[in-house]
Amino acid sequence: VCTQQELLPCKFFPETLLFQLLGLSIATLSTVTHYGLHFTLISNVSLDSNAYRVIHHTAFYFGICLSMTLILAALLSSAATVRESQFLTAMGFLCFALAFCGLIPAACWRYTHSTEVEDSMMDVYDFVYEEVRRNTSSFRRHELTAIHEAFQCCGKHSPFGDTAIVENKTCPPGQVHDEGQDCLQEIQDFLKKHMDFVFSLLGIAIGFTVYGMILTSFLWFSIHFSSNLYRKGKYILR
């Protein structure tokens, strides 16, 4: 049960908790994407001319900054409701606005470059596979074997002739190419599922940041008008 003085903190506490959980979810997803086995393997193998490594690091730092901004906005909103501070409420609104300004370009980039991540990741696999097929160096062969084991796939359909020698040396034990997954298709399917999840989380974050801006605006006006009502009708004798 909330008293009249504690009405604002009790009313806004569940929303601020949701914002903190959203920030933690984005931070968790960014960490998994950056340090996950599938992504680190491709990032370590990719060349400087390939765009995947830049996308890989940019997505991680963007996700961490976004999660910190949302958590900070939630903490400022909580402190603003407890202290009924207009300054803290304005700072919370600014954090939500910054998060919104970062989320919109990210969502637009994902929409306009829908296949860039998949293409760059498959280009890395193509490069490693062709290096092993032409040269059969032990270094590249170990990298290709690690990719096959991580994605549980075996080789690809190549127009350059027989690839059985490469696949016999690099595919997981007991897996035959004809019965296994084509790695290019497997990589594409894996990334499509992952990027759909990321895009869904971006949409949820955009909705919550808009809600956060509306919430902090309402809180600011509530504190402002409550403060004016407290002073109404009071006089000071001099």
- pLDDT for 77 beyond 60: yes
Contact, 110 vs 91, CB < 8 A? no
Q: How confident is the model at residue 218 (pLDDT cuts 50, 70, 90)?
A: confident
Please name the amino acid found at residue 17: L
pLDDT tens readout for residues 9-33: 555 556 778 888 999 999 999 999 9
What band does 232 get if pLDDT is binned at 50, 70 and 90? very low
Asked if residue 56 lies in contact with residue 34, where contact means CB atoms within 8 angstroms, the answer is: yes
For tokens 């894996």, the residue is: 190
- Each domain of the chain, given as residue ranges in start order, spans 9-114+141-148+183-233
Residue 19 is predicted with a pLDDT of 86
pTM of the model: 0.80
Rounded Cα–Cα distance for residues 157 and 16 (Å): 51
Summarised one tens digit per residue, pLDDT across range 155-202 is 887 655 555 667 777 787 765 544 556 888 889 899 989 988 998 999
Q: How far is CA 99 from the centre of its chain?
A: 13
Helix (H) or strand (E) holding 15: helix 7-35
Q: How far apart are CA 115 and CA 9, in angstroms?
A: 45
